[in-house]
């Protein structure tokens, strides 16, 4: 009997989900200067294809691709003058579309900044990705309150504020409003994906009927933030609705996850905090009327892995020295062995998390350690698959394929 089957038998440990977040050369700002890194490769298709293929060899559920509307910066609300950091990105959705044909199983979840991007455009881009990947697409919705990014578009003005001011009443209201907008955005995406019924395409050359116009629907969404007529110009995606994810650090983003997401990424620093966050999101989920729906809560961790904990700490310390300061993150920064990380993941899983998104400190070293060392340990413990099963990303995550809301019963 396969490990994947035995891990789901009564009395055996619960299977966990595992994803990796890809960003440049790695999440440490000096990762691009680490041994073996080729900085010139960061903006090539082959670099990204190789990373995703390696993640697929590790049987991971999906990868996410970071993105943004401003250059990376050590400052929260302004560009910085530093020249010793990676600056510049390729478009995350286009990267995902490029690597889709050279992979077969792994889910592809690009980041999209929804504050300044029209939902109609993103809906057809992600629907297209779902077709190109044959049902492996998702999207991570990201909100921005940065004034210098709003200036790229000229459609709205946002105040300049420091990150430490996010608890001020006016700033908190602004951020809550952006989260409400993102929830509406997710609803528009889902309605546009539903606007073609599954059998709307006839494609009958003999009769000359390519499409059944009665099975294309106006969504007529009219809310505080968007007015979208529809229908989409792209037929309904293979998954019906691609997977929607969001990163959350506090109350308002937790509510966004509870209202609108299939997967939420959170950043606890111990098992007790993980349990408290999960409880808060589950309460918000019930309040949003989604108590009966599957909603995954993944824990985010930045990882630096080595054969010994001391070697992992030393490796991070060398990078900190190159960067000129200690690296800190919104998520827990883990330095240790794959064995120690496997134990932590199981402890946090027991606190209510259904999966984890690991952020490699240095992608070349730490992605290899995840796929070659961590995954086999989890397989030995009966909590991770031994092979991929055919199916979509929704299937792998235990998410049912939703019927189009516009189709007749």
Per-residue pLDDT tens for 102-123? 999 999 999 999 999 999 999 9
Residue 7 has pLDDT above 70, yes or no: no
**Could you give the percent of the chain with pLDDT greater than 90?**
87
Under the banding of pLDDT at 50, 70 and 90, the label for residue 9 is very low
Under the banding of pLDDT at 50, 70 and 90, the label for residue 6 is very low
- Alpha-carbon distance of 298 to 336, in angstroms, equals 20
Of 29-33, 35-39, 352-356, 397-401, give the lowest mean pLDDT range: 35-39
Average pLDDT over residues 378-403: 97
Under the banding of pLDDT at 50, 70 and 90, the label for residue 374 is very high
Q: Who has greater pLDDT, 409 or 331? A: 331
Taken in order 140, 141, 146, 148, is the CA torsion positive or negative?
A: positive
Under the banding of pLDDT at 50, 70 and 90, the label for residue 8 is very low
Average pLDDT over residues 286-291: 96
- Residues 198-218: tens digit of each pLDDT: 999 999 899 999 999 999 999
Nearest to 93 by CA among 112, 74, 79: 112
- Alpha-carbon distance of 404 to 409, in angstroms, equals 10
Q: Who has greater pLDDT, 255 or 3? A: 255
Output the average pLDDT for the chain: 94
- Residues 32-79: tens digit of each pLDDT: 999 889 999 999 999 999 999 999 999 999 999 999 999 999 888 888
User: What does the longest C-alpha to C-alpha distance in the chain come to?
Assistant: 72
Residue 226 Rama label (left phi>0; alpha psi -120 to 50; beta): beta
How many Å is the Cα radius of gyration of the chain?
21
Burial 169-196 (b: 16+ CB within 10 A, else e): eebeebbeebbbbbbbbbbbbbbbbbbb
Q: Hey, what domains does the chain have and what are their CATH numbers?
A: 3-155+243-396 (3.20.20.30)
Please give the pLDDT value at position 11. 52
- Residues 255-265: tens digit of each pLDDT: 999 999 999 99
Give this prediction's pTM: 0.95
Please give the pLDDT value at position 372. 98
In this structure, the dihedral spanned by the alpha carbons of residues 330, 139, 62 and 348, taken in order and rounded to 10 degrees, is 40
How many other CB atoms are there within 10 angstroms of residue 58's CB atom?
19
Residue 174 has pLDDT above 50, yes or no: yes
């Amino acid at each position: 009997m396969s490990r994947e089957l035995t891990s789901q038998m009564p009395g055996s440990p619960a299977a966990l989900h595992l994803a990796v977040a890809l960003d440049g050369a790695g999440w440490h700002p000096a990762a691009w200067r680490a041994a073996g890194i080729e900085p010139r490769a960061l903006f090539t298709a082959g670099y990204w294809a190789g990373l995703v293929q390696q993640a697929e060899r590790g049987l991971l559920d999906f990868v996410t691709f970071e993105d943004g509307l401003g250059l990376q910066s050590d400052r929260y609300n302004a560009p910085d003058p530093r020249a010793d950091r990676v600056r510049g990105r390729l478009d995350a959705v286009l990267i995902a579309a490029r690597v889709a044909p050279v992979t077969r199983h792994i889910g592809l979840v690009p980041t999209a900044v929804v504050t300044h991007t029209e939902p109609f455009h993103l809906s057809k881009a992600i629907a297209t990705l779902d077709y190109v990947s044959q049902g492996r697409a998702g999207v991570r919705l990201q909100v921005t309150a940065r004034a210098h990014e709003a200036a790229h578009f000229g459609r709205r003005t946002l105040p300049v504020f420091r990150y430490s001011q996010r608890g001020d009443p006016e700033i908190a209201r602004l951020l809550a409003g952006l989260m409400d907008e993102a929830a509406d955005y997710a609803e528009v995406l889902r309605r546009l994906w539903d606007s073609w019924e599954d059998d709307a395409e006839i494609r009958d050359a003999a009769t000359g009927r390519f499409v059944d116009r009665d099975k294309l629907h106006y969504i007529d969404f009219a809310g505080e933030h968007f007015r979208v007529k529809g229908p989409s110009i792209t037929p309904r995606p293979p998954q019906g609705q691609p997977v929607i994810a969001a990163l959350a650090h506090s109350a308002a983003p937790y509510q966004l996850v509870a209202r609108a997401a299939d997967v939420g990424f959170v950043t606890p620093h111990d098992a007790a905090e993980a349990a408290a966050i999960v409880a808060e999101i589950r309460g918000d989920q019930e309040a949003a009327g989604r108590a009966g729906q599957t909603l995954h809560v993944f824990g985010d961790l930045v990882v630096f892995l080595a054969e010994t904990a001391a070697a992992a700490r030393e490796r991070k310390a060398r990078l900190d020295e190159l960067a000129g300061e200690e690296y800190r993150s919104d998520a827990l920064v883990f330095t240790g062995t794959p064995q120690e990380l496997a134990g932590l993941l199981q402890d946090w899983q027991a606190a209510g998390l259904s999966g984890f998104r690991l952020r490699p400190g240095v992608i070349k070293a730490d992605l290899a350690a995840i796929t070659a060392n961590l995954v086999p340990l989890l397989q030995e413990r009966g909590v991770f698959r031994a092979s991929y099963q055919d199916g979509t990303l929704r299937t792998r995550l235990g998410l049912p394929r939703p019927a189009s809301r516009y189709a007749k019963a």
